[in-house]
Amino acid sequence: MRLSVLDQSPISAGSTGRDALANSIDLARLADDLGYHRYWVAEHHGGPMLAGPAPEVLIGPLAAATKRIRVGSGGVMLPHYSPLKVAEAFSLLAGLYPGRIDLGLGRAAGTDPMTTYALQRDRRQAAPDDFFDQLVELIAYLDDALPADHPFARLARSLPGRPEAPEPWLLGSSPQSAIWAAQLGLPYAFADFINQDGAGIATDYQRRFDPGVRLAAPRTAVACWALAAETEEEARFQFSSRARVRLLRDLGVFVPLDPPAVAAGHPYTDAERARMDQMFRDSFVGTGTQVAERIAELAKRLDVQEVAVVTWTYDEAVRRQSYTELAKAF
């Protein structure tokens, strides 16, 4: 089983987005040194919690700062963009960093409805729900598979990074994303940190997979939320920062990560504490060995070959230590 990183560039109270992005580059170097397989960065817009609205911009500096690790998007939210523009950007990256660039693609907006509207180029009406058509067009550009008489065929042949190309993945947390990935023969990454009921979805992807399209066999990864520390008590204390911002986000309040002492000491209602306890149970929090055991069990249950770990902490040193503890445990 391969272990990877999904980085959402979290912002801590008292720091800036610039700080968070610098932390991402430093963490990528550490992950490279520790032997993680790939390093993906996410796309989120219009909030004070996460500093990664443009993975296609951040991937280049990450790849330049590392030597071996694969680098990519986890993912690009395709409904915001032209498929050709995405193909061009990631072809360019693949040409600069051969054999190391992944293009993870998602259907979600990565933000609230108003920000989604602000991202639209044409605001006369709501954008169409045509993700599958966008996805098919994008893959055709990367594979140079448009018919010779297609008006865009020459554009596919002129991608700047050829003959190199990024490896496309479809990301998702729903049954429909698994169906599309199987139909198009794409590797599939399931977001367990969004939906903990993924076993049936992963199985459906593997059962439906068409080996005659792109890959000879299905390839599945799962992304989970985890935090490892020297003791379970310390891990749970550090986890309180993430639990509090998630609780507030569910209430429509968006803030950076509080220090764990502030988050743990807040006077929560019984309902809020119950919600935070549920978040704790849904996440993998404990010592490196404890977290590694839960990650291995998840990989076995979903029959996946790779697990990508996402971690938020107020203190960046704690986040780096978490990934180090996991690497040691594996």
What residue has token string 């690009």? 76
Sorted by where each begins, the domain ranges of the chain are 2-329
Cβ atoms within 10 Å, residue 124: 5
Below-50 pLDDT ranges, the chain? none
pLDDT in tens, 69-81: 999 999 999 999 9
Phi, psi of 10 (to 5 degrees): -70, 145
Cβ atoms within 10 Å, residue 108: 20
Query: Percentage of the chain with pLDDT > 90?
Result: 94
Question: What's the rounded Cα separation, in Å, for the pair 238 and 248?
Answer: 17
Omega prior to 75 cis, within 30 of 0: yes
Phi, psi of 149 (to 5 degrees): -90, 5
**Displacement of CA 201 from its chain's centroid (Å):** 18
**CATH number of the domain at 2-329, please?**
3.20.20.30
pTM of the full structure: 0.96
pLDDT in tens, 55-65: 999 999 999 99
Can you list the alpha helix ranges (DSSP code H) found in 66-210? 83-96, 113-119, 131-143, 153-157, 175-184, 199-208
